Amino acid sequence: MDFFNSLDLKDVGLVVAFLVLSGYLIKSNKAKSNDGGSEKVKINIKEKSEFKTKGKSDKINVEAVREDFDWLTEKPLKSYPFKDSEYKLTMGIKFLEAKDWLLIEDTYLDRINEKTRIVTNSHPDYAPDKDLRRSTVFTSEEGNSAIREFYDIVTKYMCDKYPMYFIKSEDQIYNKITEEYIPATSEGVDDPESLLIALTRTIEEDFIILLPDPTKKDEPYGTEYFFKAGVFAFAAGFDPIEKFNQPLTCIHGPIPGYEEKLKTSMNRFFDRLKPGEFVSRSNFSIQTHKKLYVDDANKGYHLTQEELDRPIPYEDLDFDNQVHYRSERQVLIKMPKTKATVFTIRTYLHPLSQLKEDPEVAARLSGTLLKFPDDMARYKNIVQPRPAVLRYLSEISKA
């Protein structure tokens, strides 16, 4: 059933109305909005034995969270993946346990509503003629079975882990936080895009589905994994449509040193990942605004030397409201049936001023920013704000 066929709605309220008309009873959001543990492993790509599975079976089994779990009091993880030392371009991956994959924290409702505004072209912060839907929601013939498999895995995971918020009946699942219903399984839903939209109302994470593409095997990088479907709503400095249907090396094209330092390990890693394993990596950056979808900022490789030589004055930056710390917690899984790899991305974004509560983190961030290699500093767009940011971090880490 096409309960979400082609949404071009003006706001979340209309989305809700659309769902009601489509047979999925949605009540208004009464829930009040306020707006991991992992083991580091070294993966030796040459020694297969070192890359052994941590998952015991293909099935994703997750226990329910404690009975008194309350999403409104669940503080976001502190995602500060940096050391006071020079930044090195490495895979930086860790194994995770199944229970730490998809999370509900106190940002849940705000973030999925923000995502809905983006994917329905109804966000007031972007030009009305900007087609964000086209840039963020992706399906392909080759990716459709994997979308279905992912839908069934995610909905089962959320029902098993958060039984107090996801209540399954024969043909639908009731989400107690959004007060909405989504289909119980992908079976019987004709349009895979509607499954993607239902997932954006269910998990805070973006998700990218990757598959090999045998039709491209004779093209450059044609034996790699390709981005074939998913939702990339919180893009940090690129237009996701330019990454769609591309192999991993082209997706990572702007990253200085990717081909020499990461390409080989990355491709072997994708080939060897097994169903039942959860692998995560995290990144971080600083941005001078609070947008979650950004295609025209956050990266600095397009800046001229003249621009790079012009630092942003301290007085021009609003550290309490505009300058933000951003970090992505990325998790990779391989699905047992379609063998597609899925990359889920959970975005943490908070004002830099929040680090006043964590002076040790502020000092460590200052150390890493100071020692950033020039090419990466430019790529991450920290060259211009860096002097002002360092001054601010020094003030708050001493306070």
* Residues within the interface to ligand HEM (CB under 6 A): 89, 91, 93, 208, 210, 227, 237-238, 243, 251-252, 254-255, 266, 269, 281, 283, 299, 332, 343
Report the residue number, 154 or 210, with the smaller CB distance to ligand HEM: 210
List 95's β-bridge partners, or say none.
39, 279
CB of 258 to ligand HEM, least distance (A): 7
Report the residue number, 183 or 300, with the smaller CB distance to ligand HEM: 300
Token reading at 46: 């040459």
Report the residue number, 237 or 276, with the smaller CB distance to ligand HEM: 237
